[in-house]
Amino acid sequence: MTNDWLRIDGLAKSFDGVKALAGFSCSLREGEILGLLGPNGAGKTTLFNVISGFLAPESGNVVLRGVNLTGKPPHRIATAGIARTFQDLRLIRQLSVLDNVLLSFRDQPGERLGNVFFRGKSSQDQEAANRNEATSLLEECGLAEKANDPAEDLSYGQQKLLSLVCCLAAKADLLLLDEPVAGIAPEMIEKMLGIIRDLPNQGKSVMLIEHDLDAVMQVCDRVVFMDAGVKVSEGTPEEVRNDPKVIEAYIA
């Protein structure tokens, strides 16, 4: 819609004196895929942690659709329409693939204890509907036959795919994907990028951290390059790739 569907304003966060974010700002349009590039330690993951509420910024704001999310607890932010994956791949490894997807649905009536006992029918209906939806999501991305295996039995690539599916189940409007295709096989990368590329068609926006430049070129509408906690360059993938400041940062 407007330029500031998501507005990130002057975020700062430091760890024992190390400035992981030093006044980082950027914005995101609805239905846009924004690539986030930067050398190791640039503060990309920290940015995600702040947006999703796991870290409180020292200053700055995160505003989604005019609602200020700064300082809200992670579960509030998650239900406000933001889903994320983790760089170090978090899943409930002991639970089944299907359960992982089911867990990712937001605001389930069956998760309120009162409903379990007093409104059993409606929460069971919702659960059945979620189950159908989860199964079809798993079918679409080829994990259906693994649905009842524990998540830890999946290959690394499949686990990364599963965490993306979890974000889809969340029905979030904004997906924060932290290196979703790092370290996985080329066919799996294709599959994941295919899914990501299709997200704007479903009205979703994406912020994508990725070191793989080819992947970024393929899917991102726009790229922000950050280093040492601040934005260094911004523009189309082509522009950013050829920006002398970026080249300099990569060499340094």
Partner 1 sequence: MEYLLHILILIGIYVILASSLNLIAGYAGLLSIAHAAFFGVGAYVAVLMGLHWETPFLVNLAAAVVFCGILGGVVGAPGLRIRDDYFVIATFAFQVIAFSVLNNWVSLTGGPMGLPGIPQPVIFGWTVSSHWEFLVLTGGCCAAVLWICHKIVTSPFGRMLKAIREDEVFAQAAGKNVAACKVLVFAIGAAMAAVAGVMYAHYISFIDPTSFTVMESIFIISIVIIGGAGSMWGPVLGAVVLVALPEVLRFVGLPSAVAANVRQILYGGALVAMMMWRPQGLLGEYAFRKGEAQQ
Partner 2 sequence: MFSQLLVNALIAASIYLVVAAGISLAYSVTRFFHFAHAAVIACGAYSVFVLHVWVGLPLSISALIAAPLGGAVGLALELLIYRPLRRKAAGPLVLLLASIGAYVVLQNVMSLAFGDASRSIRPTSVQEGLPFLGARITCVQLISIAVALALLIILLTAFVRTRWGKMARAVMSDPELASVSGINVDGVILWVSFVASMLAATGGILQSLDVDMTPTMGMTALLAGVVAAVVGGIGRLPGVVLGAIFLALAQHLSTWIISTQWQDAIAFAILLAFLIFRPEGFMGKKVRETTV
> 18 contacts which partner out of partner 1, ligand ATP, partner 2, none, CB within 5 to 8 A by kind?
ligand ATP
**Of residues 130, 52, 124, the one with CA closest to residue 86:** 52
Beta bridge partner(s), residue 225: 37, 233
Strand boundaries in the chain, DSSP class E: 6-15, 18-28, 33-37, 59-64, 67-68, 82-84, 174-178, 205-209, 222-227, 230-235
Task: Report how far residue 123's alpha carbon sits from residue 72's, in angstroms, rounded to the nearest whole number.
Answer: 27
Only one of the segments 42-50, 109-117, 135-143, 167-175 lies at the binding site for ligand ATP (rule: CB under 6 A); that segment is 42-50
User: What are 233's strand-pairing partners?
Assistant: 225
Distance (Å, rounded) from C-alpha 211 to C-alpha 204? Answer: 22
**Considering beta carbons, is residue 20 or 77 the nearer one to ligand ATP?**
20
Q: Which does 86 bind (CB under 5 to 8 A by kind): ligand ATP, Mg ion, partner 2, none?
A: partner 2
Question: Minimum CB separation from ligand ATP for residue 44, in Å?
Answer: 3
183 touching ligand ATP, by CB under 6 A: no
Using CB under 8 A as the criterion, what x/- string covers residues 160-199 for binding partner 1? ------x---x-----------------------------
Residue 184, number of CB atoms within 10 A of its CB: 18
Footprint on this chain of partner 1 (rule: CB under 8 A): 52-54, 73-75, 78-79, 83-84, 86, 88, 90-95, 99, 102-104, 106-108, 110-113, 116-117, 123, 127, 166, 170
